[in-house]
């Protein structure tokens, strides 16, 4: 039984790394033209990202593993709040193959990664609209684990063996070593 479970986990990890290794970055997603973070009363936060590229790709039409992150403060765990897409690599049940949000913990970089993904703390429910080169994200303020204090950081998710294993939502070990290539 233990050998079967370990074999299944190993095969899952190899398949996930294969998907990550085969992923590509957007042509020019990271030249952010403008971003704003506005708290609308005590309940809602609205985040708008405008890229310099003419469109923000639709996840179902790309194999990119990418996103945008903002530094947070006042959290017991999270270092960043992010919006990401990684079609084919499931880490949550909330829009797993579309743009979705995470409170996450990034650590020091290793190998080719400028930062290592230490933990995906949760995946807050958000309303995300993408129209051409503008992404509009609305969510409850309390679902951001801390206060957004930093500017936007675009990133690509990369497989990086020098990063530590990270856990995903719910504290389940993934067997993956992932980093972020910050643009």
Residue 174: pLDDT band with limits 50, 70, 90: low
**pLDDT exceeds 60 at position 143:** yes
More confident residue, 13 or 56: 56
DSSP labels for 19-81? HHHT----SSTT-EEEEEEEEETTTEEEEEEEESSS-PPPGGG---EEEEEEEEES-SS-SEE
pLDDT per residue as tens digits for the range 47-96: 999 988 888 866 656 667 888 999 999 888 889 999 988 766 666 666 66
Average pLDDT over residues 14-25: 37
Tokens found for residue 129: 């609209």
Of 29-33, 50-54, 107-111, 117-121, give the range with the top mean pLDDT. Answer: 107-111
Average pLDDT over residues 92-115: 84
pLDDT > 90 fraction of the chain, expressed in percent and rounded: 29
H/E segment holding residue 157:
strand 147-159
């Amino acid at each position: 039984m233990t050998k079967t479970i370990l074999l299944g986990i190993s095969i899952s990890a190899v398949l996930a790394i294969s998907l990550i290794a085969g992923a590509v970055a957007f042509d020019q997603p990271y030249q952010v033209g403008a971003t704003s973070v506005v708290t609308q009363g005590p309940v809602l936060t609205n985040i708008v990202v405008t890229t310099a590229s003419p469109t923000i790709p639709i996840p179902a039409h790309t194999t990119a593993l990418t996103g945008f992150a903002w530094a947070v403060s006042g959290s017991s765990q999270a270092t960043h709040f992010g919006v990401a897409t990684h079609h084919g690599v499931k880490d949550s049940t909330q829009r797993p193959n579309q743009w979705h949000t995470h409170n996450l913990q990034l650590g020091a970089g290793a190998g080719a990664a400028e930062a290592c993904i230490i933990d995906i703390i949760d995946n807050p429910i958000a309303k995300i609209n993408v129209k051409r080169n503008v992404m509009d994200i609305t969510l409850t303020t309390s679902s951001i684990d801390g206060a957004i204090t930093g500017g936007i950081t675009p990133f690509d998710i990369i497989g990086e063996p020098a990063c530590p294993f990270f856990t995903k939502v719910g504290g389940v070990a993934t067997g993956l070593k992932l980093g972020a290539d910050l643009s």
